[in-house]
Amino acid sequence: MKPLTQRDRRALIILTVAATVFAAVWFWPQPAADSAAVKEGVAQAERRLTRLRRLAAAVPAREQIDQRVSAELARRETGLINAETAPQAQAQLLQIVRRVAGAQSPPLDIKGSEFSPVQPFGDAYGEVTVSIATDSGIEQILNFIADLSKQPELIATSNLQFRQAVPKKKTVPVRLTISGIVPRKLVPQKKGVLTF
């Protein structure tokens, strides 16, 4: 074997020093901050898991509440005037008004009727209206309005106008506007308005 030259000895010394430095850096203990970050990440994951478990446990209760609210909404919407078109809904409203007027004692004589365009009523419904004209006594008009409010349909008096009374007949000419609630699909869309 050949003896090591001066150059080989220097290379061997440099290689040993480099290997020692590399080993020291490679196997140096990790700083405490990294283990704290890992512990914080674990704690954060556990908190998130706890929160998700709480949310998952609340799902059945929320579904029950949703079912109760849906049932209540369906019960309340039974009074909507259901029709295929807005004119059919207006005709149904007029039919209800005539039925209640005919049930009065004596029957309320409707002299004329007039429809207004269907209007939005909130975000989910529409409103149909019919205006009627009649000559009758105050008591009969009050009884008619009271009987309208007892109907199963969602209808109400929205406008009441009295004119000059006729003292000899003891009657008052009245213009009465009655409104009914319909599904939103019967409200015509405005042209040029985009809906999403």
* Tens digits of residue pLDDT in 4-48: 788 888 998 999 999 998 888 888 776 655 566 667 788 888 899
Range of the domain at 24: 1-79
Instruction: Report pLDDT digits (tens) over 169-180.
Output: 788 899 999 999
Instruction: Report pLDDT digits (tens) over 130-155.
Output: 999 999 888 899 999 999 999 988 89
Give me the residue label for tokens 């009914």.
180
**Given the DSSP bridges, would you call strands 110-121 and 155-162 parallel, antiparallel or unpaired?**
unpaired
d(CA 189, CA 125): 13
Residues 64 and 24 in one domain: yes
Residues 17 and 44 in one domain: yes
In a domain, 152, yes or no: yes
In a domain, 191, yes or no: no
What is each CA distance from 14 to 10, 17, 20, 146, in whole angstroms?
Answer: 6, 5, 10, 108
Maximum Cα–Cα distance across the chain: 147
Residues 105 and 123 in one domain: yes
d(CA 167, CA 174): 14
**66 close to 77: Cβ distance less than 8 angstroms:** no
Residues 109 and 174 in one domain: yes
> How large is the average pLDDT for residues 157-172?
85
Tally the domains of the chain: 2
Residues 60 and 95 in one domain: no
In a domain, 192, yes or no: no
Q: In the listed set 79, 94, 123, which residue is the last one of a domain according to the structure? A: 79
Instruction: Report pLDDT digits (tens) over 55-71.
Output: 888 888 889 999 999 88
Residues 94 and 182 in one domain: yes
In a domain, 96, yes or no: yes
- Does pTM top 0.95 for this prediction? no
Q: In the listed set 39, 58, 79, which residue is the last one of a domain according to the structure? A: 79
